[in-house]
Amino acid sequence: MSLPELADRQRDILRAVIREFITTAQPVASGSLVRRYALPVSPATVRSELAELEDLGLLTHPHTSAGRVPTDLGYRYFIESLMPDTALQPEEQLTVSHQFQQAQQDSAQWLRLAASTLARLTAEASIVTQPAGTKSVLKHIDAVPIHERRALIVAVLDGGAVRQQLLDLDQPATADELRSLGQRLTDTMHGADAATLAKAVDLEHGAARQILRALSRLLAETESARASDVYYDGIQNILAQPEFGASDPTRLRDMVALLEDRTRLADLLPPIIGEGEVHVAIGAENRVEPLLDCSLVFGRYGGTSGVVGYVGIVGPRRMDYARSIGAVSFVGRLMTDLVRAVEGN
């Protein structure tokens, strides 16, 4: 996995091949390289350089008389040492962060917005997971009367997530009773996690007991179901890619099936990403079968209290990595800001 050292001209040529292949999706010929990038050498010279890059494992040949195509290693080399600055244009950053500021209203909207923004910025399919903490902690409890014997329990978690649960009460309760119950539980249970709540259940009785039981279950689910709530967008974008076109519809279907299946999603997320880092998995670096022709670009966002979510995109190996990384990184940062704002830091 160590990357070979290249002469300057080879680097230029590799960069040109990748750039060309990304836009055309066609194997790149020596002649067209010279023409389009105004190289100061002849096609024959380029050919010998291409042959060397192929020996180094950075390029391949679909067949004898076809142009060159980057390998996984070729893309990797590009990302590690050929890629231009990935930051988005300032105007773009402004537009996007403006949209995020307007969407502060509803945390579910953040996720949706993040997914659609990424899809739009990168023209790939995007995936955004709900922030889920290793420890979910209660911040506020409220009991809203719906009916004499029925109440809606609203819980605000650390990190600004809001959960709700409809509860059939064993005994009728008035609005005032529910209100003071919510107050008391908020005061006593502030900062409690699922385990603490479970313990506290036995100390209470009546409606309070019911509420605590429901909440502890809710928190436990929130903690465990790490990737249960996933937003995705831009599937149309990967349908538009020529590599997933007519040739093999099964490939495409398997891929979409993988994305839609929220339970399998956790597997393909890169094991650990550092805060603010962006992780790129190219082609066969993905262990999952339907993604062997794809690349993933993922980032992590999260608060200080261990609340963590993922944002990322899926696309063909042939993608604009600079732009993708820039977009994922930027959106990840915005999401981190949003989560922190709700945390109160």
Find the shortest distance in angstroms from Cβ 198 to a second copy: 16
- For a second copy, the binding residues in 244-303 under the rule CB under 8 A are 245-247, 249, 252-253, 256-257, 260
Task: Kindly give the interhelix angle for 30-37 and 43-55, rounded to the nearest 10 degrees.
Answer: 120
Q: Does 32 bind DNA (CB under 7 A)?
A: yes
Span from 26-34, 78-86, 190-198, 218-226 in contact with DNA (CB under 7 A): 26-34
Q: Give yes or no for residue 131 binding a second copy (CB under 8 A).
A: no
Rounded to whole angstroms, what are the CA distances from 17 to 31, 33, 157? 11, 7, 50
Size of the site for a second copy (CB under 8 A): 47
- Reference 158, options 201, 116, 189; nearest CA is 189
| From 25, 51, 156, 292, residue interacting with DNA (rule: CB under 7 A) | 51
Nearer residue to a second copy within complex by CB, 4 or 344: 344
In which region does residue 141 sit, left (phi positive, over 0), alpha (psi from -120 to 50) or beta (all else)? beta
Map the footprint of a second copy across residues 164-193, applying CB under 8 A.
164-166, 179, 183
| Environment class of 12 (CB within 10 Å of its CB; exposed 0-12, middle 13-18, buried 19+) | middle
Of 191, 214, 212, the C-alpha closest to 202 is: 212
With CB under 5 to 8 Å by kind, the binding choice for 43 among a second copy, DNA, none is DNA
**10 Å Cβ neighbour count for 156?**
16
Handedness of CA 243, 244, 250, 254 (dihedral sign): positive
Residues that bind a second copy (CB under 8 A): 104-108, 112, 139-140, 142, 144, 146-147, 150, 152, 154, 156, 160, 162-166, 179, 183, 214, 218, 221, 229, 233-236, 239-240, 245-247, 249, 252-253, 256-257, 260, 341-344
